[in-house]
Amino acid sequence: MTYAKVFVALADPTRRHIFEALRERPKTVGELAKGELVSRPAVSQHLRVLESASLVSVEPQGNRRLYLIKRDGLDDLREYLEGFWSDVLSAYGDEIARRVNEE
């Protein structure tokens, strides 16, 4: 049930913003903090939550830590949501069949 951790991690607007900022390219905490209204330590805490949810990974580079999105981190969430999409499509197909049979 990793998708639940992803929901929790991305529920916070600051974490979502940080996660989305990493779509462009990997960044350091300092770079990420420049675009936020929270402190660098707070950004670090948010990154730990994102890392715990398998959404970001860390690459040490000298004395810096570079954060990047783990592309497969959303796989469980995607699979979970696709289950709903399949249900919706099935229900839509059933409704079309029902209406065709009524005619």
Nearest to 45 by CA among 61, 68, 29: 29
H helix intervals, 1-103: 2-11, 13-21, 29-34, 40-52, 75-102
| Beta bridge partner(s), residue 64 | 61
**Average pLDDT in the 63-83 region?**
89
Domain boundaries, the chain: 2-102
Class of domain 2-102: mainly alpha
- Per-residue burial over 30-57, b if 16 or more Cβ lie within 10 Å, else e, is ebbbeeeeeeeeebeebbebbbebbbbe
pLDDT of residue 92: 76
Look up residue 71 and give its DSSP letter: G
What percentage of residues in the chain have a pLDDT greater than 90?
51
**Could you tell me the pTM of the whole model?**
0.78
